[in-house]
């Protein structure tokens, strides 16, 4: 049974999906006005791992994550460059997707764009007005926060405390609000900004309504898991709950998950402080698998400090796993015997405990740090038990088990970078053997694997030739 720490209840709860065998999950995506930084990468890696583990447990996961492609920062950047906001967002969505691929983050089932969902936002705002939860003044639509009785249930805030902290808003030009706690659903057009026609005049949606609408459209009124960074708990997610639940009268998301922040040299990493690295910068020094491995070495609810030393030790640790996999592969290829001996059967049985440990850690609120520790225990166990003279089956089984567990975490155990000539020759031989056995799927897999590494195969009459592209 998977247990999830739910920000709503502040407790770990058993995970029971709305519909048996299925998980509906929404994760707030980035605002696309620049390359993503490694802080933005944390929720991407964390929730991709949650998704992978759910899939490993047999759930069919519908995973939706948006791109916020209309926002003040995008407009500002567009004005600086003298291009349209759309050009900026398109460019950085493409760049973000490249970074995601490098970090082995699976594309979402759907990646909706806010600007393509304006009709749905107008619909939801209209419903909220009709139900008395929202009102329009001079082209702006506000949500009537106090009317939603449960406001504050996610962030565990009390409305009167919020009111006290919010006085300053009254003097910042929002006097037209009925209550300083009310938040914006629709804002009127300003010169030089993208805008859409609406019953309240030309304008654009507020940020919070985007996620309520996209989540409802692609996942339905009720979802299982809603995720994002902890900075989103208030006000973003609190407001999403108010909008969605006021509209449907039903509980919006059952489990709210929030990752802690990634800090840099023990200080909060943020664009405004200028102390951030983009994922692209990191990719110039490290394989992005190292970044993924580094992130998963901490529990997602613990703050994580980024430093060169920690990245170096992650690199070394990942290499230890990759070397073990390489050695086991070599041992399997060169084994003198095929079948397991009686003693080896016992070894395999015992190795099963590490997989149990891995699952136990992941079931406990996705404790990837402990899950990685279980992988290392298995690596150590394999290093001592698969030796010269071991059977092919033993080496193959241990190798595949390590790769399988790493795969659940989205960690690739193949060494990246250039292949050695000998490795290429071995793979080509394996491909020939696969073809002889009419295992064309495996043969194609090897060809594609080589292609990815820049090795092009040519089938000639004299045999297979290869070259580096």
From the list ligand AMP, Zn ion, none, partner contacted by residue 261 (C-beta under 5 to 8 A by kind): ligand AMP
Minimum distance from residue 145 beta carbon to ligand AMP (Å): 22
Does 235 help bind ligand AMP (rule: CB under 6 A)? no
DSSP letters spanning 305-332: EE-HHHHHHHHHHHHHHHHHHHHHHHHH
Cβ 240 to Zn ion shortest distance, Å: 6
- The least distance separating ligand AMP from the CB of residue 92, rounded to whole angstroms, comes to 10
First and final C-alpha spacing in the chain = 48
Contact between 228 and ligand AMP by CB under 6 A: the answer reads yes
Radius of gyration of the chain (CA): 26
Q: Does residue 77 touch ligand AMP according to CB under 6 A?
A: no
Instruction: Pick one of 4, 8, 23, 28: the residue that binds Zn ion (CB under 5 A).
Output: 28
Nearer to Zn ion, 260 or 464 (CB): 260
Cα separation of 368 and 297, whole Å?
Answer: 6
Q: Does 112 participate in binding ligand AMP (rule CB under 6 A)? A: no
Q: How far is the CB of 400 from ligand AMP (least distance, A)?
A: 34
Residues 150-179 that bind ligand AMP (CB under 6 A): none
CB of 20 to ligand AMP, least distance (A): 29
Give yes or no for residue 229 binding ligand AMP (CB under 6 A): yes
Q: Check: CB of residue 297 under 8 Å from CB of residue 390.
A: no
> Residue 69: CA atoms inside 13 Å, Cβ hemisphere, count?
23
Return the half-sphere exposure (C-beta side, CA atoms, 13 A cut-off) of residue 365: 18
Q: Is the separation of the CB atoms in 18 and 54 below 8 Å?
A: no
Which residues share a beta bridge with 455? Answer: 468
State the angle between helix axes of 392-408 and 342-363 in degrees (0 to 180), rounded to the nearest 10: 0
| CB of 112 or CB of 180, closer to ligand AMP | 112
Element (H, E) at 300: none
Q: Which of 43, 112, 120, 203 binds ligand AMP (CB under 6 A)?
A: 43
Q: Does 269 bind ligand AMP (CB under 6 A)?
A: yes
Q: Indicate whether 211 belongs to the interface with Zn ion (CB under 5 A).
A: yes
Smallest distance from ligand AMP to CB 28, Å: 5
Please, which residues have CB within 8 angstroms of residue 29's CB and are 6 or more apart in sequence?
65, 66, 67, 68, 111
Binding-site ranges for ligand AMP (CB under 6 A)? 28, 30-31, 39-40, 42-43, 228-229, 231-232, 259, 261-262, 269
């Amino acid at each position: 049974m998977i247990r999830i720490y739910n920000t709503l209840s502040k407790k770990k709860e058993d995970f029971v999906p709305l519909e048996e065998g299925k998980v509906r999950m929404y994760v707030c995506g980035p605002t696309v006005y620049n390359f993503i930084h490694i802080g933005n990468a944390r929720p991407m890696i964390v929730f991709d791992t949650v998704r992978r583990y759910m899939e490993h447990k047999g759930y069919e996961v519908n995973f939706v994550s948006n791109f916020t492609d209309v926002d003040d920062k995008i407009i500002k950047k567009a004005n600086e460059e003298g291009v349209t906001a759309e050009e900026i967002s398109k460019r950085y969505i493409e760049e973000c997707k490249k970074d995601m691929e490098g970090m082995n983050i699976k594309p979402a089932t759907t990646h909706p764009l806010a600007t393509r969902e304006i009709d749905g936002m107008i619909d939801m705002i209209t419903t909220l007005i009709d139900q008395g939860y929202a009102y329009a003044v001079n082209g702006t639509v506000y949500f009537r926060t106090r009317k939603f009785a449960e406001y504050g249930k996610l962030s565990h805030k009390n409305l009167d405390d919020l009111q006290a902290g919010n006085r300053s808003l009254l003097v910042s030009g929002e006097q037209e609000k009925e209550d300083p706690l009310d938040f914006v659903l629709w804002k009127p057009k300003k010169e030089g900004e993208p805008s859409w026609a609406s019953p309240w005049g030309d304008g654009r949606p507020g940020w919070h309504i985007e996620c309520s609408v996209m989540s409802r459209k692609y996942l339905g009124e009720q979802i299982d898991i809603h995720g994002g960074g902890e900075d989103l708990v208030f006000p973003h997610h609190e407001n999403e709950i108010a909008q969605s639940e006021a509209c449907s009268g039903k509980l919006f998301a059952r489990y709210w998950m929030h990752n802690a922040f990634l800090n840099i040299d023990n200080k909060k990493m943020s664009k405004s402080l200028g102390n951030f690295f983009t994922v692209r910068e990191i990719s110039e020094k490290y394989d992005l698998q190292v970044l993924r491995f580094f992130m998963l070495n901490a529990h997602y609810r613990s703050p994580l400090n980024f430093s060169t030393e920690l990245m170096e030790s992650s690199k070394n640790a990942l290499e230890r796993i990759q070397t073990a996999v390489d050695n086991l592969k070599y041992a399997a290829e060169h084994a003198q015997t095929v079948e397991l001996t009686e003693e080896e059967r016992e070894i395999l049985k015992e190795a099963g405990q590490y997989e149990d440990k891995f699952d136990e850690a992941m079931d406990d609120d996705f404790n990837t740090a402990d899950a990685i520790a279980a992988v290392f225990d298995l690596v150590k166990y394999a290093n001592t038990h698969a030796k010269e003279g071991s059977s092919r089956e033993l080496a193959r089984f241990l190798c595949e088990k390590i790769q399988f567990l790493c795969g659940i975490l989205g960690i690739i155990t193949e060494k990246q970078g250039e292949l050695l000539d000998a490795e290429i020759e071995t793979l080509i031989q394996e491909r020939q053997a696969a073809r002889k056995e009419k295992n064309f799927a495996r043969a194609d897999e090897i060809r594609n694997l080589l292609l990815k590494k820049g090795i092009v195969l040519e089938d000639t009459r004299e045999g297979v030739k290869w070259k580096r592209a």
